[in-house]
Amino acid sequence: MMMLWISVVLLLLYGCLLFFYRKSWQSLSNFEVTENVNRSFISVIISARNEEKKIGNLIDSLKAQSYPQNSFEIIVADDFSTDNTAAVVNNFNLPNLCLIQPNIQANASSKKKSIEAAIKIAKGELIVTTDADCIPPVNWLQTINNFYIEKKAAFIAAPVKFSYNKTVLQIFQAIDFLTLQGITAASVAANFHTMCNGANLAYKRQAFSDVNGFDGIDKVASGDDMLLMYKIWKRNPGKVFYLKSKEAIVTTQPMLSWKDFFMQRRRWASKTFIYDDKKIIVVLAFVYLLNCLFFVLIAVSFFNSLYWLYVIGFLLLKTFVEWPFVSAVAKFYEEQKLMKYFFFFQPLHIFYTVVVGAFSQFGKYEWKGRRTK
């Protein structure tokens, strides 16, 4: 009976958290692109490592931007690629495209150093970052520019979604990432905790300088997005925003194997205890505890068959609690069709959350040919 009450209390608290996220998500109005003669000069920065097969598509999409080509530059910082990434970039021969190979040490955190090197030579007052495997829509830069000017923003987190095929792995990643994006938007809108994704970020160059860039977080393998965001938020708490606009949704590619998927999630989770933002640590710990409870219920069920009903009830209630929020986010991304898989992926989502959360704090993982602690 005690286990039942613990489950009920945790699910009620979880329901309150999801209700809060949904309310915060709905408080965000959709930002509409309008004609704006005020144009900031934008520096689009891409740190690329071994992206010869993907970076050409990104540069093509940047060539097609509605934002005038003379109002932005593209700086590709080559992060010690061992393939033909540099050659692909140079073949474009665009007047506003620059490839740099920073004079830095090759290590797990060299992505931050390569971004920093690019910012040093950047001419833009607004820095926009994305990844080499991303595709932004045609009005991406125009939307960011207009939002930046209207809000007088120091930091902008913007939407990202996964492309996917019909495989279980890619559909699962699309749903999981959709949920993370919703939480990102809601948390930023409520000024509750800081979240973002480096595939679609913008920040004022001066804001980056004011916090001394990546100083203090430069030894961490990841965190060029969220750790930087928190530094800027501490200095400019009223100038950090989420850009909710379909015109700003960047599409990126999912992992192609389960191994790569788990490695990516381990990389994301590895910086959990490095966060200075204690609120996000509390939220992550609570959600992790809730998911661990599912395994506890299964273990007890082998000794008391009645608990199998609790296991099923747990899955149903968890889905019921999450559904309104995730479906609202899916509607914005025009991915409502993914919701038909939502309940069936609950056990897999719980399993990966618990396993990745545990292993992310121990040992090493491999990412883009590098062994990282």
Domains annotated for the chain, with CATH where assigned, are 9-24+277-372 (no CATH), 31-255 (3.90.550.10)
pLDDT at 185 over 60: yes
Token pair belonging to 61: 């999409």
pLDDT at 215 over 70: yes
Q: According to the model, what pLDDT value does residue 363 have? A: 57
Q: pLDDT tens-digit profile of 337-370?
A: 999 999 999 999 999 899 888 877 665 555 555 5
Average pLDDT over residues 144-169: 95
Give this prediction's pTM.
Answer: 0.90
pLDDT at 37 over 80: no
The three-state secondary structure class of 322 is helix
Q: According to the model, what pLDDT value does residue 278 have? A: 80
Beta-carbon contacts of 352 under 8 Å, excluding residues fewer than 6 positions away, are 262, 265
Beta-carbon contacts of 253 under 8 Å, excluding residues fewer than 6 positions away, are 54, 133, 162, 163
pLDDT at 250 over 90: yes
Average pLDDT, the chain: 89
Pick the more confident residue, 109 or 9.
9
